[in-house]
Amino acid sequence: MSVFYQILDGVRDRLALIPSVPTIVIRKRPILLQEDTLPLIIISPGQDSIGDEAFNNTVVYNYSVEVSIIQAGNRVYEADVATLFDLRENIRNQLFQPLLGGAVTVYDCQLETNPAFEVVSGQASNYDISGMVITYKSVETRIS
Amino acid sequence: MLTLDISNDFNYFDNTETITIQNKNDNPLVIDNVKRNAAVMGVDDGGGNVVYGAAIEFQIWKNCAPVDFVPKLNAKITDQFGKNYRVDTVEDMCWRTKWSVKATSDAGEGLN
């Protein structure tokens, strides 16, 4: 299995440890299907890039993973604020760890958060969307 | 002399429906003879995500609503099928004889 998918799988397993966590899915892109039940957490791959290199064919690859929380907002602006922050903090704490189970080459990560409540418009205006991007560092060997 | 009366135009439309509208912090109100315009259905990009929703326009004749009723932004509308919407814009139209209310379907309730 590719390291990238190991990471996606590992992220899903980590998030599943959170008490009362919403449904978690891995998708190619952060797309909500019409048939989905809310709330939903979508794990999707971002960009992978080459980081540091060292002698003896050692290379660090960076794998970005997007985690998106989608829930019903429906113009209710006072309720569920604390609940969302609890979930968001739990996700952060589960993911911002040096190691990731199932992906043995991962040794560190960086985490960037988007606004807790994204500005949404048009037909998306009744959704609350919150996201973060975790970039995992994986030390691997170049083939030569 | 011909008198133009557009305040009861709901009599000339087929497929009118009964809706429930609830302004924030107010009681639900049932209104008859509401006409629904064609829906705009689609996807929108919100914060890098793709989600679904439907934009609907309801025509509410003032003859069919209490005199002091004014639909407000973010009010909740439930249509005859039980599907919910939230009000985006309100227009006082046709010589102030009807409310034209644009709304977006609730999250997760699909396109139509």
CA distance B2 to chain A (A): 43
Chain B residue with minimal CA distance to A75?
B74
Contact B53, B79 (CB under 8 A): no
- The structure tokens 């985006």 sit at B88
Asked, for residue B110, whether it belongs to a domain, the answer is no
Please report, in tens digits, the pLDDT of each residue of chain B (112 residues total): 677 777 777 777 888 999 999 999 899 999 999 999 877 776 665 555 566 778 889 999 999 999 999 999 999 999 999 999 999 999 997 778 899 999 999 988 866 5
Residue B30 lies in a domain: yes
SS3 (DSSP) at B2:
coil
What does the pLDDT read at residue B112? 58
Note whether residue B10 is domain-resident.
Answer: no
Q: What is the span of the domain harbouring residue A112? A: 3-141
Query: Measured between beta carbons, which residues in chain B are less than 8 angstroms from residue A112?
Result: none
Please answer yes or no on whether A38 and B104 come within 8 Å at the CB atom.
no
- The domain spanning residue A64 has which CATH number? 3.30.2000.10
What total number of domains does chain A contain? 1
Total structural domains in chain B? Answer: 1
Q: Do A120 and B44 touch (CB under 8 A)?
A: yes
* Tens-place pLDDT, residues A99-116: 999 999 999 999 998 888
Q: What span, in angstroms and rounded, lies between the C-alpha atoms of B97 and B99?
A: 7
CB A129 to CB B49 under 8 A?
A: yes
The dihedral through the CA atoms of B42, B44, B49, B51 has a sign that is: negative
Backbone angles phi, psi at A6, to 5 degrees: -55, -40
Which residue, among B107, B23, B105, has the nearest Cα to A127 in the 3D structure? B107
Top residue of A126, A128, A129, A130 to mutate, by most chain B CBs within 10 Å, is A126
Decide the pairing of beta strands B76-78 and B49-61: unpaired
Tell me, what's the pLDDT at B52?
Answer: 73
Higher pLDDT pick, A33 / A142: A142
Give the separation between CA B9 and CA B15, rounded to whole angstroms: 13
Of B86, B106, B111, nearest to A34 by CB-CB distance is: B111
CATH number at residue B53: 2.40.10
Single pTM value for the model: 0.82
Q: What is the pLDDT of residue B44?
A: 60
How far, in Å, CA of A44 to CA of B28, rounded?
A: 41
Residue B15 C-alpha, separation from nearest chain A C-alpha, in angstroms? 25
Query: Looking at beta carbons, which residues of chain A come within 8 Å of B55?
Result: 122-123
For residue B12, the Cα-to-chain-centroid distance in whole angstroms is 18
pLDDT per residue as tens digits for the range A11-47: 999 999 999 999 999 999 888 887 889 999 999 999 9
With CA atoms as reference, report the closest residue to B83 among B58, B111, B41, B102.
B111
| pLDDT tens digits, A55-100 | 999 999 999 999 999 999 998 888 889 999 999 999 999 999 999 9
B1 lies in some domain: no
> How wide is the angle at C-alpha B108 spanned by C-alphas B104 and B110, nearest 5°?
70
The DSSP code sequence of B30-59 is: EEEEEEEPPPEEEEEEETTEEEEEEEEEEE
- Kindly state the helix (H) or strand (E) to which residue A9 belongs, with its residue range: helix A3-15
The reply to whether residue A125 touches residue B54, judged by beta carbons under 8 angstroms, is no
Residue B94: inside a domain, yes or no?
Answer: yes
Whole-number CA gyration radius for chain A: 17
pLDDT at B48: 54
**DSSP β-bridge partners for residue A82:** none
Its domain, for residue B95, covers 17-105
